[in-house]
Amino acid sequence: MELMTPLFVILCPAIAAALILLSRKQPNIREAWTIAASVIMFLLVLSMAPEIIKGETIRYILFQSMIKNIYIGFNVDAFGEIFAITASSLWVLVSIYSIGYMRALKEHAQTRYFFCFCFALMGALGVALSANLVTFFIFFELITVSTYALVIHEQTPEALRAGHKYFAYLMPAGAILLFGIMTTYYLTGTTDFTPGGIKALVSVSPLIITVLFFAFLLGFIKAAWMPFHSWLPTAMIAPSPVSALLHAVAVVKAGVFGIVRIVGYVIGLDLMHQLGLWLILAGIAGFTMLVGSFFAITQDNLKRRLAYSTISQLSYIILGAALLNKDSIQGAMIHIPFHGYMKITLFLCAGAILVATKKTNISEMAGIGRRMPVTMLAFSITAIGMVGLPPVAGFISKLYLCFGALELGSPYAMIFLSVILISSLLDVVYFFPIIHSAFFGKLEAGGVEERSEAPLLVLLPLAITATFSVVFFFFPNTFYIMDLVKTAAGNLFGGV
Amino acid sequence: MQLIEQFPVIIVGISMFTAYTMLLAGFLNKRLPFIIAMVMNSFFLILSLFILNHVLTVGPIRYWQGGWRPPWGIEYVVDAMNAYLLIIVISLIILGLIYSKENVKHEIEERKHTTFYTLVQLMAAGLYGITITGDLFNMFIWLEIASLTAYALIAVAGGRALRPAFNYVIMGSIGACFYIFGVCWLYSVTGTLNMADMRLLLPLLYDNKVVQMGFAMIVVGVMIKAYIFPLHLWQPDVYAYAPSTISSMMASVHVKVMFYILLRMFFSVFTINFITHYIGLDMLICWFAAIAILAGSFWAIKQRNLRRMLAYSSVSQMGYILLGVGLSPLSPWGLIGAVAHILNHAIGKGCLFMTAGAILQQEGLRNIKDLGGLGKKMPYASAAFTIAALSMIGIPGTAGFASKVFLILASLDAAQYPFVVILLLSGLLNLVYFWRVIDQMYFVKTEEPKEAGVGREKGKALPLSMIVPILILASLCIIMGIIWFTDIPLPLINHILSNLRMGVTV
């Protein structure tokens, strides 16, 4: 059905950005715009969900372009809606957190920070709602450009180097992605996302489709699959809210979102299966899951450890998409919001620790659980969820993935099942020591053992996301997520 | 004959007349030449909009000077292509004039202002003339008017601008010689100078070596003026040291008009058939363009001076247009890409040169590494620079992205896959050299206290008359980025394709 809601969703952050720039002299009004935009955007996104669950899509074509069959427009389907809900709901919380965090640390250039944050979110939502690859690409690049300013926020030479590395990875990837998109158009005459894949690709030679697949895969190194992952840990030099929302949710999820779109909606499940491409993708994902976890163990900087954990966890989603069956893809889709909520909590905790104690390294955090019980409780809950244990949301998505792997039959079922289990085990290895030393570790000499939590504006959002991580376990249908996942899987496989 | 059919000749004729009037008026009042130029060019802009409307609704305008029939008399022809280019040229001349109002005070001595404006108006007349005429020799005259005035305008600042101006005189004259030689050779075998007439007569002579040689000489001559890669040597210094207004006008419209000559030669005087079958030039042109794109970018990366960097970037961007021209026999998208990039580069590079000039005027800075913290000192100029630079890089949502997409589409359509890679690579190289500047403006920490730069006039902000054109061009970069992705330009594009007899429409 035709509705203008997607357009309003996209305009929300853009208008907010303009207003932020105008009221740069009054910090309180400036922050009010961010909050207002995020809340309105979330409500708008949520208002689309009831229609979408019925199996409808919400279309809005902005422009018909000169190029035949290419238009700039939105087509919100269940899968896009999942990502949109994830990103927009978390933006509300991170906006609040940002205000507390930035003010507590007395950061400079806060106007630029909030301005670019709006555009990054606009990019993420645009990616979620777009109807075809061209629209997708426009917003995808918007994310890259606008997050640059956030990555180098510190403006130290080190931060600038990190920013350059960020671009050195993501910009060539964007160029390759554009190549893939244009080639798709050239081959098929359309770039629309079609559930089950673009039909005309069936008659194209397998070699070209393989090339196309690799072009898309390289184009989506925002998904941080190995060996093209090292921009993500480097980008952790950004302020914590940025790492939390962008480098755990918006940016990297846009990458995996793209991969799922390619697998399910462009190349199509049948072709992926026929050409054996799924095995390549699953191999990459499995490799990243294991190696990412190993890397995480070796990191002492908390945010870098979380970054490697993100790299590993993102590949769960890629693996789910690669296994090509209903359960695995449901697992992949549901892991997008669930991992988003859990990982953002972890990053927000890291930020809260920085605000309260100025500590960034895990080795310095012994006994910190006694100083910051709420923060570390939230951290522990979501870390358990990361491992995939009940009663936290991560359990559900891992369960689906395991079912998906089992459906493959031998020998792949055993391989991927063991990869998932080993990776979960490694999650325990790198999360458990943090929790253990936080609550039971000895305070370093001269440390004070009194309650000193971060400011309320910082504490509240992370408590909420941690709560939601548990709520999702008991009520996976919060924010319609479970229904949306079922609808999306129904679109791909037919039937509900 | 309708009144509207007189408009082209009115624009050209009155332009010349205005220039001389301005010279005289300058004796009365120093401000008068500027005012006259503004008023008259705005008037021409309105006329040109009427022309475009007429061309799109009724058909091409043909005007016979003095009532002489074409093979004998001079004919002025305006179809969709010229009308489109005419609007671009006039609007950018107007924006350049607005920009020059305060800028000339800073860069050119007071006593030269009258001559400066007279020459600008004459150059404009030359550019309008090239755009409108349908006669090869008449085109040479306008070409010389546009070039000679350009030489003088570059040298008008004196000092360091003199040597580049002299280089340009030599190279430009060689180019003009090549052009006129080529025209003479064609005349010697066809006996006509009218483009449409020549198009009818030439096909029988396509095998003739004289015709082929004449074509080659014209193309090389124009390529010198349009600084295609190996022939670009005169250009970087000219752009670096000419008055800012002139750099901006030259980079945005002067060179585009040279490209227009090339387009006319390829598609209106000669035919695609000749280019592809008799001399097999299309692929050669594409590879020339590819080399220009890459070489220009590499040289731009090496530059430390902001305006020289922009100049080399122009060398690279001209390659985009040439690539579009070279691909157009194989795919209509080639021509569309070229046509689109003519506008996109004009607004983008015009804005960049104006900003560079503003930085020079306000802060006295020429080198990229000195630009630290400029985002705070000159917020509007820096923002405009960033937007225009993003357009040059081809970030989605800006005008440059549209031309990139069209050209990639053309390369795929023509099955010339290497050019896809070259275009994408070029975008990344553009990113490298433009991002250095953006980094300096916004992101590099500056040690010095918040004190004004060396050449800064204390307490004086950038005058409004300089900010406005810069911001207009920057916002156009975004607006065009959207408009090229709608179907609004479709009628224009289809007219251009059919007027240049591409035989296909989109």
- pLDDT of B65-117, one tens digit each? 888 888 788 899 998 999 999 999 999 999 999 999 988 888 888 888 899 99
pLDDT of residue A446: 58
Integer-rounded Cα Rg, in Å, for chain B is: 22
Chain A residues contacting B, CB < 8 Å? 63-68, 72, 112, 137-142, 145, 149, 152, 155-156, 160, 163, 167, 171-172, 175-176, 178-179, 182-183, 185-186
Quote ipTM for the complex.
0.91
pLDDT tens, residue by residue, B387-432 = 999 999 999 989 999 999 999 999 999 888 999 999 999 999 999 9
For residue range B447-484, list pLDDT tens digits in order: 655 554 454 554 567 888 899 999 999 999 999 999 99
Q: Which of B395, B396, B444 sits opposite A160 (nearest CB)?
A: B444
Task: Using a pLDDT cut of 90, give the percent of chain A over it.
Answer: 56
**Chain B residue numbers touching A139 (CB-CB < 8 A):** 396
pLDDT of residue A491: 87
Do residues A318 and A225 make contact, with C-beta atoms less than 8 angstroms apart?
A: yes
Burial of residue A26, with CB atoms counted within 10 A of its CB: 0-12 exposed, 13-18 middle, 19 or more buried: exposed
Rounded (10°) CA dihedral B337, B338, B343, B348:
80
Q: Which residue's structure tokens are 């990616």?
A: A127
CB–CB contact B445 A155 (8 Å): yes
In the prediction, which pLDDT does A496 show?
46
- Please tell me which of the candidates B405, B412, B445 has its beta carbon nearest to residue A183: B412
What would the DSSP string read from start to end of B217-257? HHHHHHHHHTT-GGG-TTHHHHHHHS-HHHHHHIIIIIHHH
How distant is the Cα of B339 from the closest Cα of chain A, in angstroms? 14
- Interchain CB distance below 8 Å, B485 and A160: no
Q: How confident is the model at residue A449 (pLDDT cuts 50, 70, 90)?
A: low
Q: B336: which chain A residues are within 8 Å (Cβ-Cβ)?
A: 66
User: Alpha-carbon distance B124 to B138, whole Å?
Assistant: 16
Instruction: Kindly report, residue by residue over B19-30, the tens digit of the pLDDT.
Output: 999 999 988 888
* Minimal Cβ distance to A175: which of B390, B412, B428: B428
pLDDT at A106 over 90: no
Chain A nearest-CA residue for B426:
A175
**Shortest alpha-carbon distance between residue B119 and chain A (Å):** 40
**pLDDT score at A288:** 94
Task: Tell me the mean pLDDT in the region B270-280.
Answer: 83
**Partner residue facing A160 (CB), from B412, B439, B482:** B439
- Most B CBs within 10 A among A66, A135, A148, A237, hence the mutation to make, goes to A66
pLDDT of residue A244: 87
Report residue A68's pLDDT band, with 50, 70 and 90 as the boundaries.
confident
pLDDT, position B504: 60
User: Residue B505: its pLDDT value, please?
Assistant: 59
- Residue B404: per-residue pLDDT: 93
Query: Which DSSP string do the residues of B143-205 spell out, in sequence order?
Result: HHHHHHHHHHHHHTT-GGGHHHHHHHHHHHHHHHHHHHHHHHHHHHHH---BHHHHHHHGGGG
What is the reported pTM? 0.93
Q: Is residue B490 within 8 angstroms of chain A, CB to CB?
A: yes
Task: Please state the separation of Cα A118 from the chain's center in Å.
Answer: 16
Cα Rg, chain A, nearest whole Å: 21
Q: How many angstroms separate the CA of residue A460 from the nearest CA in chain B?
A: 32
Average pLDDT over every residue of A333-362: 90
In order of B199, B476, B505, the CA distances from B96 in angstroms are 36, 15, 35
Q: Do A141 and B396 touch (CB under 8 A)?
A: yes
pLDDT at B1 over 70: no
Mutate: best of B331, B405, B492, partner A, most A CBs <10 A: B405
Classify residue B77 by its DSSP letter.
Answer: E
Minimal Cα distance from B418: which residue of A?
Answer: A179
For residue range B118-170, list pLDDT tens digits in order: 999 999 999 999 999 989 999 999 999 999 999 999 998 888 889 999 999 99
Distance CA A384, CA A427 (A): 9
Of B424, B435, B485, nearest to A178 by CB-CB distance is: B424
pLDDT, position A243: 87
Instruction: Give A108's pLDDT tier (boundaries 50, 70, 90).
Output: confident
At which residue do the structure tokens 């063991």 appear? A418
- How close, in Å, is residue A229 to chain B by CA atoms? 20
Q: CA dist B333 to A63, A176, B14, B404, B478, Å?
A: 19, 21, 36, 11, 21
At residue B442, what is the residue type?
Y
> 């690709």: which residue's tokens?
A201
Average pLDDT over residues B329-356: 93
Q: Which of A16-30, A144-158, A273-287, A437-451 has the lowest mean pLDDT?
A: A437-451
Q: What pLDDT does residue B447 have? A: 66
What is the count of residue pairs from A and B with beta carbons less than 8 Å apart? 79
What is the pLDDT, as a whole number, of residue A101? 87
Give residue B290's pLDDT. 94
Cα B225 to its chain centre, rounded Å, is 11
Residue with tokens 């030269």: B112
Q: What is the mean pLDDT of residues A60-88?
A: 91
Q: What is the pLDDT of residue A444?
A: 66
- Asked if A149's CB is within 8 angstroms of B408's CB, the reply is no
Q: From CA A388, how far away is CA A473, in angstroms rounded?
A: 11
Give me the percent of chain B exceeding a pLDDT of 90: 61
Query: What is the rounded CA–CA span in Å between residue B399 and residue B393?
Result: 10
Q: From A65, which residue of chain B is nearest by alpha-carbon distance?
A: B486
Per-residue model confidence (pLDDT) at position B501: 73
Question: CB of B479 within 8 Å of any CB in chain A?
Answer: no
C-alpha to C-alpha distance for A427 and A293, rounded to whole angstroms: 7
Instruction: Please list every residue in chain B whose beta carbon sits closer than 8 Å to the beta carbon of residue A151.
Output: none
